[in-house]
Structure 1
Amino acid sequence: MSIQSTIEHKLQALEPTYLSVENESHKHNVPANSETHFKVTLVSPRFAGMMPVKRHQQIYALLADELAGPVHALALHPYTPEEWQARGEARPDSPDCRGGGHS
């Protein structure tokens, strides 16, 4: 199973109404086909009343093995359904990496 698939599977524990796990490794100075940099956008009613740091901690706990090993960077965008709707259901853009990428 790919790292991306493993992340997607583990995050199901948060009962997402929307989940996007994007492999952004190609935007960084890593070998081709790497799975080291990910952006996670996760919408869950379980985040209601929870401060952003607590949301991040829940995700980090679920992905502890991946973060201790192959995953170098994880951009997290956790929302409640109401926050997601207020955003217009738009995923945030990732900044360009100064390390470059492979074409």
Structure 2
Amino acid sequence: MTVAERIDAKLTAAFRPLELEIVDQSHLHKGHAGAPEGGESHFRVRVVAELFDGMSRVDRQRKVNEALREELAGPVHALSVEALAPDEAR
């Protein structure tokens, strides 16, 4: 299973998102410190879930980081998160 597939599975299980987009941006960081050969180290995620309704942006970020704790401790060097409640998604 790829890192992106693990991220997808964990965010889906944790948040039952209405929308989930995972973009591997590792190619943009090739040659930089923390960017291993083979990629799968830098990701951008957009997750829209009812669970985020009424939560602060910081709390949403914390929830996503908790769900991806293992990935953030290992193969993922950088993660950009956009976590939205359904009424905020456009």
TM-score by length of 1: 0.79
Residue ranges of structure 2 left out of the alignment (5+ in a row): none
> Following the alignment from structure 1 to structure 2, what is the Cα–Cα distance between the partners of residues 62 and 26?
24
More helix by share: 2
Following superposition, the deviation at residue 24 of structure 1 comes to 0.3
Where do 5+ consecutive residues of structure 1 fail to align? 86-103
Aligned residue pair count: 85
Q: Within the alignment, does 1:50 sit opposite 2:51 as a pair?
A: no
**Cα offset, 1:15, TM superposition:** 1.1
Distance 1:14 1:69, change over 3 A: same
Q: Which amino acid aligns with 1:57?
A: R
RMSD of the alignment, in Å?
1.1
* Structure number, greater radius of gyration: 1
CA–CA separation in structure 2 for the residues paired with 1:2 and 1:38: 12
Amino acid in structure 1 at the alignment position of 2:23: E
Which residue of structure 2 aligns with residue 24 of structure 1?
25
Measure the CA separation in 2 of the matches of 1:31 and 1:74.
Answer: 15
Mapped partners of 1:32, 1:22: distance in 2: 18
Identity %: 39
TM superposition score normalised by structure 2: 0.89
The list of structure 1 runs, each at least 4 consecutive aligned residues, that deviate by more than 2 angstroms after superposition, is 29-33
